[in-house]
Amino acid sequence: DTEVTQTPKHLVMGMTNKKSLKCEQHMGHRAMYWYKQKAKKPPELMFVYSYEKLSINESVPSRFSPECPNSSLLNLHLHALQPEDSALYLCASSQDTKNIQYFGAGTRLSVL
Amino acid sequence: EDQVTQSPEALRLQEGESSSLNCSYTVSGLRGLFWYRQDPGKGPEFLFTLYSAGEEKEKERLKATLTKKESFLHITAPKPEDSATYLCALGGTGANNLFFGTGTRLTVIP
């Protein structure tokens, strides 16, 4: 089983809202990732957690705040987003940071 | 600097018309060349990993090959359900082990 579950599937929010994206895996993977993907572009890495510690932050604006409460869960907290932040947000996990990444189906975010 | 370039950007095939997608790369310390398939609005689905030149892997109508400078994804007798964007990605030496190319959008016409 290589399932990564993301919720919600779709999210519409205003620029003053606070919302969270959630990602869950039960494969015992110790690395988890957030990516942002705009239409017709490849996924762009945002954050990497390795053994529940943030190991990479790709200069992402502070309006995006990741959290890894335990080895199975990854959250992305959103606050004061801009319309240009509208995109597909993808979560992935891997056994560790050197192995195959398995992706969730994504959350389609629209910021109005 | 690591680089990965995919071609063509888009490809339209008739059902049954075999073809190949190209992924050219430069990297210091390759830790794998990954192929993913992505359907519109969905997350990438893992297909293959190749680690050394000369390696080949197959799955149904797909066959991936690797040289020291490029990888090919061969599609034999494609069907409409093979329509998707195919992404290749480099495995690097850092904590982020995926560096994606821009993808090839494949459309297979019945």
Is the CB of A103 less than 8 angstroms away from the CB of B49? no
CB-nearest to A103 from B31, B44, B94 is B44
pLDDT at B93: 62
Q: Which residues of A touch B4 (CB under 8 A)?
A: none
CA distance B90 to chain A (A): 11
Q: Does the pLDDT at position B92 exceed 70? A: no
pLDDT at B29: 76
Tokens of B10: 């888009």
Query: What is d(CA A68, CA A21) in angstroms, rounded to the nearest whole number?
Result: 12
Tell me what the mean pLDDT of segment A28-49 comes to: 93
Per cent of chain A over pLDDT 70 is: 98
CA distance B43 to chain A (A): 4
Tokens of A57: 């932050």
Q: Give how far Cα A9 sits from Cα of A2, A28, B46, B67, B80, Å.
A: 18, 23, 20, 39, 26
Give B95's pLDDT tier (boundaries 50, 70, 90): low
